[in-house]
Each structure stands twice: as C-alpha cells, then as structure tokens.
Amino acid sequence: MNRFKRNFYIGILTYCTAAACLSGCTKLDVTPTSTLTPANFPKTAAQFVAATGPIYTSFRGAPGRQWWLVENLSTDMEVLVARGGNWFDGGNYSTLNLHTYTGDNGNLETMWQWGYGTISTCNQVLSLFSLAPESATKTQTIAEIKAMWAMCYYFMMDNFGNVPIISKFGDTSSMGTQSRAKVFAFIESELLAQIPNLSASVDATTYGRPTKYVAYAILAKMYLNAEYYTGTSRYSDCVAMCDNIISASKYSLDADYLGMFKPNNGPQIKDFIYAIPYDGVYAQGMYYARWTLHPALKAKYNMPYTPDGPVYTYPSYYAYFNDPNDIRNKQYLTGKQYYDDGTPITITTTNIGLDASYSGSDPNGVVVHQLEFTPNIVWRNPSTFDIGNDELANEEGYRNNKFYPDSQAPTRNQSNDVPLFRYADVLLEKAEAILRGANATNGDSPLSLVNQVRARAQAAAFTSVDLTTLLQERAREFADEGWRRNDLIRYGMYENAWGIKTDVDPNKRIFPIPTPELQLNSKLVQNPGY
C-alpha cells in the first residue's frame, strides 16, 4: 500500500471522530450539530486538514465511478454494451451513448447528489469553523474549502447548466435554478477571492487539496469554455491562468506517461495539479479496471477479483493513435493477448460458446481459443443495445488499461489516484486559446506547446498544428480521463454520429436535472429539451 495514502487517510479518520456528524449529510435544512467545541477546535495545520476530511470523502465518490462513466460513455470514445441482456440495466448506460438520457437516469442522479452533497458538506464545515479562533491556518483552510466548493459548482455547471447556488448551510431560500452565466460568475469570483489565501506549496503536504494552482487550473478550463458557457469568449484570460501555472515552475511532464496512472501514483507525479487520492483499503470507490478489462485477464494482472469488461473503445477513436512510437498507444489492449512470459492467454469454451452463429454439427465441442481483441463493435439487437454474449462478442472493441489494475488491493477497489487537472492539459489549453484568438505569450506558440506534450509521449514532433490536430492530440493525451465530452461540446462535435447513435439535439449538451431532485425541490426548473 502507498505509504503516503495510508498515513493521509489514517490521519483523517483519527481526527474526524470530533466531527462525525459531517459524514455525508446532503439535506440543506438540517441544523448543524457537532462534538466540536471551543476546547477541541482544530488548531494545527494537520488538525484542520483532518477536520475537513468529510469534504474530501464526499468528493471522491462519483469520480471513481458515475462521473467517469457519464463523461466517457456520452462521447465517441467508448461505450458500455449490453451482452445477452447483461449490463443493459434499464438503459442507464446505453442512453448515455445514444444521447437519449432522461431525468430518470440513475447515473445522473448520483452525479447530482455527489455535487450538491459535497457542496452541502462544505457549507456545513464552514458553519462550524466560523466559531473557531482566527489564525493563518484557519484562513487557508477556509480558502481550501471554498475552492472545493467552487470546483463542485464547476462540475455541476458543466454537466447540468442552470443550477442552484447555495452558499450557506441550511439556506432554503436559494434553492432555485440560476442561469449558467450567473453560476459561472459566482465560481469565478469565489476562486479569485480565495487565491491569495491558498497555499503555493506543491508537495505531499498539499496533495489532494486545492492550491493556488488548482484554482488557476479550474479558471483556465472555465475560460477556455466560456464562449459556450456564457456566450462571451475569454481566451486571453485562459492564457493568463495557464501562464500563472507555467511560470511558477512547480509542475512538469513526467517522463513515464503510463506510470503516472498506476496504483502507486501520488504526490511524486509532477504532471498532477489536482488528483483525487484513492486507496484500496482506506479510500475506496475507484475501480476503473473492473469496467474495461476482460475476465480472462484476471490472472495476468493478479487481480483480486474477476473483471467484467463491458466498456469497449470505438475503433474511430483508437484511430487517433496512429504514431507507432507514441507510448500512449500502450494504454490500449489490442489484438492477441499474452502473459508476460509470452504464453498465450487462452479461453476454453465450446463452438457455440465461442460463436453463437456456429451452424456445424458439434455445437458443444470443446475449443481452446486465444483471447484476441478486435476493433469493430457490432450490435445484434440495437433496441436493447445488445452485441450478444458469445466469446467473440466479449472480445469486440479495444480496451483501455491506462489506470493499471491494482494487484495489492484486497477487493476491486484500486489505489490509483485520479487526476482531474494536469499540467499537460494546461499546455494544450494555452495552445488552443492562442489558436482561437488569444495573443501568444512568453515565447510560446501552439506548435511549441503541443510538441512538449508529444515529446514526452515519444511521438514525432508536429510541423504545424491547427484546431483539428489539437483535438486529436487531446484525444491521445486524455483518453479515459473524463474530458472528452467537454472537448466535443467546445468543438461543436457532440452532435456527431458514432456507433448506433443518431441523436443530433444540441439540448443534450447539458444533462437533465434528475427527476427525484425536481420532485424534492419545486424551485428547480428542468433544462430545455427534457
């Protein structure tokens, strides 16, 4: 187990007994109660960090599963298929890819609860800390809480558009829907106000918590998308935020691209501006390998469980990985599969189990088949999103293995930390903002910025770059990291066809407010088109 993660979470669990009531309440009108008193309010930096633990515990929820699935499956990158009736789950996954989702989608409900549950926890902690004696540590901790608050609002605004702004615990008067432009302005003002009080340290002491550079990274992402969010472009502001990060010289591109996503990642990764710490024992909830890896790979990766593997990559997306020297190609499993010693990975089945279309005289004859991932995905029953459940169907689609399986965890929970904001993203955001009209700064050009990212990947340097090639580079760099939907919307490509998707409704760029939330809160207004 990663020693940093173990110590980090033991510290939080130890101190949080003084604030046990903060363990996840999401109701907005509950009177805060706590065993915190003036005698035991946190005083040291470590105690303040530990006392805010419920915020980070809440925040790591959906990114380990629902947020990651929603952002990835609603795009041209990958798809979660139904197999012989398995994994259809009432359309919870298929409607994401088809853009036929409604307010009844359970994944969207979980995302809403994640965002507003964490916001409520932030508000609750802030209300308790208001009574603590003033100190520099308290000031910084409150800034960190408000930055987490703003980050949650960013993800809610990005996914649901017009959403409530609830800035005080128990305030039921502000539960009505606000315009996306107003939410944007609120997030911007909150982040700018907190930056002076956030830490400029980038090391194990601030890992997993907001720093000045995390605030800059959120703002850069907002400004790059501002024309879509608010109708007003902010590309020069995006460049300014990127420069704040670049000029600080706190971050760099780690030489080992694939190593950044392994279970032993952590504060040593210089590319991570903000990552969510996960641990297979102390901070559970992240299990990406369960979704992408075939069951027959259990032994190769010494996994403590059998993966399900219903998430397949579209061949059109994999086509972006077209440089044979690019090390990012290795995040995908393609073709025939072997153990590390070169022995073929085989599956013993029957003729009919291998191929349901078998029409020979011996359907139950035993056959030993080598596991081989093939590129094309073929739906046998589009109405139920079903590709069949024979072995050949189970091997359709290449598989992303970026977040390498955790052989040390006792269950399917992995210890791979999940980055939300990376230095490589900052470089490519700055390049894109310049291509879209911002002035170049500090001797950087879109070409030089993109080629920094490509050099780390050992890919051939570009001789020119435009918006199209930049989007393709983003596809290679950030595969399976949850930003593809955001990118496609900004590029006006979210309505494109892929797989068996035909929906072209631009209203689908934002998700519907979940039906249970509308039933609970009459002040919410459903988004257009739903």
Q: What is the dihedral of CA 230, 235, 241, 242, to 10 degrees?
A: 130
Residue 111's pLDDT band (boundaries 50, 70, 90)? very high
Assigned domain for 371 exists:
yes
Instruction: Please check the confidence at residue 20 and state whether its pLDDT lies above 50.
Output: no
Using 50, 70 and 90 to split pLDDT, how confident is the model at 46? confident
What integer is the mean pLDDT of 110-130?
94
Residue predicted with more confidence, 316 or 85: 316
The amino acid occupying position 334 is: T
- 313: in domain: yes
User: What span, in angstroms and rounded, lies between the C-alpha atoms of 227 and 243?
Assistant: 20
Greater pLDDT, 175 or 440: 440
Q: Report the share of the chain in percent with pLDDT over 70.
A: 92
Inform me whether the pLDDT recorded for 31 exceeds 50.
no
Can you tell me the distance from the alpha carbon of 278 to that of 263, in angstroms, rounded to the nearest whole number? 9
Confidence of residue 132 (pLDDT cuts 50, 70, 90): confident
150 within domain boundaries: no
Long-range contacts of 44-48, Cβ-Cβ distance < 8 Å, separation of 24 or more: 44/137, 45/137, 45/205, 46/11, 46/15, 47/15, 48/137, 48/138, 48/140, 48/141
Let me know how long the chain is.
Answer: 530
Provide the pLDDT confidence category of residue 322 given band limits of 50, 70 and 90: very high
* 331 contact partners, CB below 8 Å, separation of at least 6: 258, 261, 400, 401, 402, 479, 480
Q: Considering the domain boundaries, does residue 391 fall inside one?
A: yes
The mean pLDDT of 264-272, rounded to a whole number, is 98
Mean of pLDDT values over 83-109: 96
> What pLDDT sits at residue 9?
53
Q: Is residue 332 assigned to a domain? A: yes
Neighbours of 223 (CB within 10 A): 25
Parent domain of 295: 289-400
44 — pLDDT class (breaks 50, 70, 90): confident
pLDDT averaged over the chain?
Answer: 93
pLDDT surpassing 50 at residue 507: yes
Q: What is the pLDDT of residues 190-223, one digit of tens each?
A: 999 999 999 999 999 999 999 999 999 999 999 9
Count: domains in the chain: 1
Question: Would residue 314 count as lying in a domain?
Answer: yes
Q: For 102-116, what is the mean pLDDT?
A: 98
The amino acid that residue 404 corresponds to is: Y
Once rounded to an integer, what is the mean pLDDT over residues 369-392? 97
Cα(195)–Cα(213) distance, integer angstroms? 9
What is the pLDDT, as a whole number, of residue 37?
61
Residue 13's pLDDT band, with cuts at 50, 70 and 90, is: very low
pLDDT at 506: 98
pLDDT at residue 26 greater than cutoff 50: no
Q: pLDDT at residue 457 above 50?
A: yes
Measured distance CA(20)–CA(38) in Å, rounded: 16
Contact 145/127 with Cβ under 8 angstroms? no
Quick one: pLDDT at residue 23?
Answer: 38
Q: Which of 4-13, 127-136, 306-315, 475-484 has the lowest mean pLDDT?
A: 4-13
Tokens of 334: 């393609």
**300, 293 Cβ separation under 8 angstroms:** no
Q: What are the strands, taking DSSP E only, across 314-375?
A: 332-333, 335-336, 346-350, 366-370, 372-373
At residue 29, the pLDDT reads 44
Domain presence at residue 277: no
Question: Among 124-128, 148-152, 215-219, where is mean pLDDT lowest?
Answer: 124-128
Q: For position 176, what pLDDT does the model report?
A: 87
- pLDDT at position 28 is 43
pTM recorded for the entire structure: 0.94
Model confidence over 332-368: pLDDT tens digits? 999 999 999 999 999 999 999 999 999 999 999 999 9
Q: Which helix (H) or strand (E) holds 151?
A: helix 136-160
Task: Determine the Cα–Cα distance for residues 237 and 480; give it in Å rounded to an integer.
Answer: 27
DSSP label at residue 397: S
